[in-house]
A and B are shown apart, each in its own frame.
Chain A
Amino acid sequence: MSDILYFLENKVQIVALSFLLFVYILRIFWLFRFKSRKEQSYSEGNATACIAHSMLNVAMPWAMESIRKKPFFYIQFILFHMGVIFAIAATFIIPYGPQLFNIQAVVWIFQFIVGMAFIVGMFRLYRRFANPSIRLISSRDDYFSLILMIFYFGVAFLAIPNNYHRSEWPLILFFALTAFFLIYVPFSKIGHYLYYPFTRFFLGRTMGHRGVYAKRKKCRYPEGL
């Protein structure tokens, strides 16, 4: 293994990760700087249950009409994000537990997932260009982030076998991209997962408080019944 690859896999990765963490902490402080409104009306539901329901929305494809109408979109979503998880996992496995990739089946599973994510990414890119509604709302960051992800999946596909003795280039590219990602992500739409708990919390709290979801049984019938 060359020095540069070793440097990328270890020092750079850790520095970039720390940077990401640091910016995320700042970002959360930034969000908390804005005042939050408290509910002053009597509750008719269970806000906690509804917050949980709202947070789990991501795992409940039946919960939203938009997804029920377009189930294929949900499958895309799952594959794409599985791809992200597996690619990130690979960035840790390669430097810290490379023996796992000695098992051929594991390599195949990882390659299959990121490969599928790559295809989904292409499909999404096509949609972003071809659908006039999506094109109108898309920013350069939207295109760049998506192209970057597709590229990343492609590189991950090549890097996962971890054959540095044959060729180091896929690995060097993969870890260089990872470092770039970790620095770019908090300033781009890719950091949306950081906000998911916030939006979901607020929506769940409001709707739970009003009994739109998770209504209290006794409130279904007026007092005195």
Chain B
Amino acid sequence: MSDKNISKKIKIEDVTSLPLELESQQKASKEKIGSVTEGKLTLYDRQKRNVERFHELLRKKMTRQLASSMVACVHCGMCAESCHYCLSRPDDPQMTPVYKADQIRRIFKKHIDWTGRVFPKWVKAGSPVTDEDLNHLKNIVFGTCSACRRCTFNCPMGVDTALLIRFARGILTDLGIVPEGVFNVSRDQWETGNQMAVTEEDYLETLDWMKEELQEELDNPDIDIPIDTEDCDFMYTINPREIKFDPRSISHAAKIFHFADEKWTMPKWGWDQTNFGLFSGDDKLGAYVAKNVYEAAERLRAKRIVISECGHGYRSTRWEGYNWAEYDQNIPAESVILTLMRYIQNGRIKVNPAKNSEPVTFHDSCNIARSGGLLEEPRWVLNKVCSDYREMSPNRRENFCCAGGGGLLSMAEYKPLRMEVAKIKADQLKATGAKLVCTICHNCVDGLTDLIKHYDLDMKVVQVLELVSHALVV
């Protein structure tokens, strides 16, 4: 089955011509959901002059950072050397990062820059004419780039192409010209405060269930998953996926916190550290979700915010969220990896690396390494809890994306292309000879699982909490 998959080459026109799916938007319109009537979530409306609005938004949202990246590109093409789309599809010129960025850059040149306004053809400036053109742009910026920022780090001029891609996504989101998956998740996060529409009841019930299971497992009725406790050492925030589909990670965390004798809590509201605003480019959504977390920590007077294993959640909550929300950070925030480091260093938990003897490699999540700065920390922990650690090459800032980043996991229509360009990652994984690939991002867990299945690799994806929990010496 996988051989057949691998040999299948995708025609790029099939991706760039994907239509705008409106089923969910029509449903939201009919049901008059709050986020739509309050103007937070925009629905596509062909009656509105979308192209003109696009130009207005382009002007309104322009920043100095963006404008510099718009004007600095010299079309040298070095970015092609770094992009997993290009490297996996070397014969497809439309995969080059600069080509993708130029789709937004040309509009900037036509409407804001100097030369392009007077001599558009001379500098390839141009403008979308119809909504169909905007849909085409949607397919390029959402479907052919995982915004991994690898090209940014490999650009001699320092052009931040990933930033331009996110900017274009943001404008399209403001027009409702988005993939259905992006719309659905944004809707849920606006409506329910978490990206999987988990109700408070479901959330509390699941935590309670995990608590009971843990009490049973360790035969200790005192184990707790505290909710909304004030003045704790930290407030633990998670990815809704952990609640909805796989709460084992919550159980691992609670177990470790228990043995570390930690004073921690989970908030009743503001527990979702993920943030679809990062992927959709919608700073308003980004601000709303991040602020929920920051305010929860303030309300509970937590000494710090701890972010569970999640790539885009870490980047959003730890770094970008404060800027989106225009909120001066007043409480430290950290990845749970740092918390684990502290426990091991201070001897608050004892671990035995022999308990994880299978060869394990580490996959750096783009949002945590390149855009987050956690490079050595996860390796430090892994070396303490695993006996056969193998480095992947390239790694750290230069690691390749799992191919499912940038929100692509939620956009099924782009999956065939995503799987094709995951080849570079598959080769990288295979070369390590490891049986386990560890990552600290839920998105990468699924991205890697998909490609392991697609390329028929003999590997399993694990996360750090799971390995640490397994290595615990009680």
Contacts and interface: CB of A to CB of B under 8 A. Distances in A.
Interface in A27-82: 27, 30-32, 34-42, 44-45, 54, 57-58, 64-67, 69-70, 73, 77
Given A134-B77, A221-B345, A200 B158 contact: yes
Contacts of A102: none
A54 B341 CA distance: 30
A150 to B, nearest CB: 16
Interface stretch (B92-100, B423-431, B466-474): B92-100
A210 B371 contact: yes
A225 B122 contact: no
A57 B160 contact: no
B96 A136 contact: yes
Contact of A195 (B72, B321, B342): B72
Contacts of A131: 77
A45 B371 CA distance: 13
B67 interface: yes
Given A35-B64, A212-B397, A222-B339, A189 B74 contact: yes
B327 interface: yes
Contacts of B327: 40
Contacts of B152: 203
Interface string B119-131: 0011110000000
B326 A40 contact: yes
Contacts of B394: 65
A142 interface: yes
B398 interface: yes
B373 A210 contact: yes
A17 B152 CA distance: 33
Interface residues of A, number: 63
A38 B375 CA distance: 24
Nearest to A54: B158
Contacts of B78: 64, 66-67, 70, 73
A140 interface: yes
A134 B153 CA distance: 19
A41 B319 contact: yes
A67 B335 CA distance: 33
Contacts of A66: 78-79, 81-82, 154-156
Given A58-B156, A139-B122, A198-B72, A45 B80 contact: no
Contacts of A35: 63-64
Contacts of B246: none
Contacts of B121: 140
A164 interface: no
A202 interface: yes
A65 B82 contact: yes
B163 to A, nearest CB: 9
A69 B79 CA distance: 12
A146 B341 CA distance: 53
Interface in A176-193: 187-189, 192
Given A42-B332, A198-B68, A224 B372 contact: no
A172 to B, nearest CB: 27
Contacts of B3: none
8 contacts: A35-B63, A41-B318, A42-B333, A66-B82, A192-B72, A192-B157, A199-B157, A222-B345
